[in-house]
Structure 1
Amino acid sequence: MSVHRRWFSLPREPATVAAGRRRVRDLLTTWNTPLDEDTRFTLDLVTSELLGNAVRHASGDAVTVGVHADPLHHRAVIEVYDSSPVLPTTPAHPDEDAESGRGLLLIAELALAHGVVRKRGGKWVWAEIALPGAAARPAPGDHPPRQAPHGGVTPRAMTCQ
């Protein structure tokens, strides 16, 4: 089994979310990446949230999506680049009547790891997903909780220039 990588760009518009989700699924299928129903659901949701945030909150005409699959190590990474320098933040408790603000909380629950990498002219927001056959994710009490660094960047984030 080999590692696969592909990047593609899409216009920054609402239809991009569904198109990006389909493209990620198609790439993983083409690469014969093992997927079960739960993993497909997780990949769809994480891809939708990453792209939806970029479409709603970023600037510029396009977003770039990176898809990386490593079946041997049972991992896939979805990353979305946008040209906004504004880093995403996760509210501690979104208002229960709010229609948005839960995307990064969902990603944090479903992903093995997630974060943001600051780049000149924008940022990559990414999430690593377990593929079937991966070891179970540690229970929340098994590790001390990680605090967001100053500035409200997501807990597993890193920034670089």
Structure 2
Amino acid sequence: MSVHRRWFSLPREPATVAVGRRRVRDLLTAWNTPLDEDTRFTLDLVTSELLGNAVRHATGDAVTVGVHADPLHHRAVIEVYDSSPAVPVPGAPDGDAESGRGLLLIAELALAHGVVRKGGGKWVWAEIALPGAAARSAGDTPGGAPQQAPPGKVAPWAMTCP
């Protein structure tokens, strides 16, 4: 099994979320990446949230999506580049709010996630466990929280774009 990487750009418009989600799924399928129903759901949701945030809050005409799959180590990384230097901040929406939960969902579903500033913009990424990965125990990180990269740095466990 080999590591696969691909990047593609999409226009920054509402339809991009569905198109990007489908392309990520298609790439992983083409690479014969093992996916079960829970993993597909997680990948779809994380991809949707990353792209949705970029479409809603970023600047520029396009976003770039990076997809990395490492079936041997049971990991996939989805990352989205946009040209806005503003770093996303997790919200604290009230119970009736219709948005503001994306980063909270990503933090709950991802093994790790973060932001890397680059080229006047940023990569926002999330690492997802593929089937066969050992379950993360609450003792893996302090408080059982997902790992995050130090501000402005690439996390050593992540497979982020160059």
Q: TM-score, normalized by length of structure 1? A: 0.89
Q: Distance in 2 between matches of 1:56 and 1:41?
A: 22
Residue 17 of structure 2 corresponds to residue 24 of structure 1:
no
Report runs of 4+ in structure 1 exceeding 3 Å deviation: none
Shift of 1:143: 3.6
| RMSD of equivalent CA atoms | 1.9
Equivalent residue number for residue 131 of structure 1: 130
Q: Distance in 1 between matches of 2:140 and 2:127?
A: 19
Equivalent residue number for residue 72 of structure 1: 72
Residue 142 of structure 2 corresponds to residue 144 of structure 1:
yes
Shift of 1:80: 0.1
**C-alpha distance 21-145 of structure 1, shift in aligned 2 (>3 A):** same
Q: Distance in 1 between matches of 2:66 and 2:97?
A: 30
Q: Secondary structure at the match of 2:84?
A: coil
Q: Which digits, 9 at most, give the CA deviation of each residue in 1:108-151, with x for residues without a partner?
A: 00000000001121000000000000010122x6642499xxxx
Shift of 1:97: 1.3
Taking only the aligned residue pairs, the percentage that are identical comes to 86
Shift of 1:95: 1.3
Q: Secondary structure at the match of 2:13?
A: coil
Equivalent residue number for residue 159 of structure 1: 152
Q: Secondary structure at the match of 1:69?
A: strand
**C-alpha distance 16-53 of structure 1, shift in aligned 2 (>3 A):** same
**C-alpha distance 146-41 of structure 1, shift in aligned 2 (>3 A):** closer
- 1:8-157 aligned at under 5 Å gives the runs 8-91=8-91, 93-139=92-138, 143-145=141-143, 156-157=148-149
Equivalent AA in structure 1 for residue 47 of structure 2: T
Q: Distance in 2 between matches of 1:39 and 1:77?
A: 12
**C-alpha distance 113-34 of structure 1, shift in aligned 2 (>3 A):** same
Unaligned regions of 5+ residues in structure 1, if any?
A: 148-153
Equivalent AA in structure 1 for residue 148 of structure 2: R
Equivalent AA in structure 2 for residue 29 of structure 1: T
